[in-house]
């Protein structure tokens, strides 16, 4: 099996749009969360793998913080996580040499677990302007951990630490999703070079 490509970033930062781009590059994502009004083109989150991360976080959330559980460093490893994830994707139909990706905001919190399990994985960090991210967080019903701009700003600051910490551990490609939303094809070209896969689509046709 090929090593995965992980999409890491805060929620509402454009990671689902990044998943859509990887889908158009021909990458496999498996059985994913259905689209809804908040992500009409799809979430691209593999539900079974996400449940593994939910279980892992709940095991470590000793104070029962739930959605507010944001440890700076979570170092507890799980020697079985690699096998569990490969078992999931194989059962969902991933072929031996098929490139694939996994996207979930929880990846950033669980980065040490996944870097340890998949040392040769590729990582994409999605950058979106903080103002746009906060506005999206505040108008999305299921993002209910916080209610004020200041709280969400502090939440995003922790993700800023996650990114810096991840960059110390592995090579991270940074995608500017604001440029993608503005249909700047150069971002797709950069992503194409990183993936080693030629893009046969244009943003002007994809983002209608």
Starting from the edge strand earliest in sequence, which strands make up the sheet with 122-127, in order?
A: 101-103, 5-8, 122-127, 172-176
At residue 52, the pLDDT reads 97
What is the block-wise mean pLDDT of the chain (208 residues), using blocks of 10 residues?
Answer: 96 96 96 89 94 97 96 94 98 96 97 97 98 96 95 97 97 97 96 94 87
Given the DSSP bridges, would you call strands 172-176 and 122-127 parallel, antiparallel or unpaired? parallel
Distance, CA of 188 to CA of 51 (rounded, Å): 30
Domains with residue ranges and CATH for the chain: 5-206 (3.40.50.300)
At residue 207, the pLDDT reads 87
Distances (CA, A) of 127 to 10, 100, 198: 9, 21, 22
The pTM (predicted TM-score) of the whole model is 0.95
Q: Closest by alpha carbon to 166, among 74, 57, 95, 51?
A: 74
- 3-state SS, residue 8: strand
At residue 112, the pLDDT reads 97
At residue 43, the pLDDT reads 92
């Amino acid at each position: 099996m090929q090593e995965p490509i992980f999409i890491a970033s805060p929620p509402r930062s454009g990671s689902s749009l990044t998943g859509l781009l990887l889908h158009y590059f021909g990458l496999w994502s498996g059985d994913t969360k259905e689209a809804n009004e908040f992500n009409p083109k799809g979430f691209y989150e593999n539900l079974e793998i996400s449940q593994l991360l939910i279980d892992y976080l709940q095991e470590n959330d000793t104070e029962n913080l739930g959605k507010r559980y944001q440890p700076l460093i979570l170092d507890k490893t799980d020697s079985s996580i690699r096998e569990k994830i490969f078992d999931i994707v194989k059962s969902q139909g991933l072929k031996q040499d098929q490139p694939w990706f996994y996207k979930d905001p929880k990846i950033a919190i669980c980065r040490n677990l996944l870097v340890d399990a998949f040392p040769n994985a590729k990582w994409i960090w999605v950058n979106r302007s903080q103002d746009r991210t906060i506005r999206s967080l505040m108008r999305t019903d299921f993002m209910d951990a916080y209610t004020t701009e200041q709280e969400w700003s502090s939440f995003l600051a922790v993700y800023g630490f996650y990114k810096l910490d991840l960059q110390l551990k592995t090579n991270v490609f940074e995608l500017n999703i604001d440029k993608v939303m503005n249909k700047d094809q150069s971002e797709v070209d950069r992503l194409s070079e990183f993936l080693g896969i030629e893009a046969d689509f244009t943003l002007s046709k994809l983002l209608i």
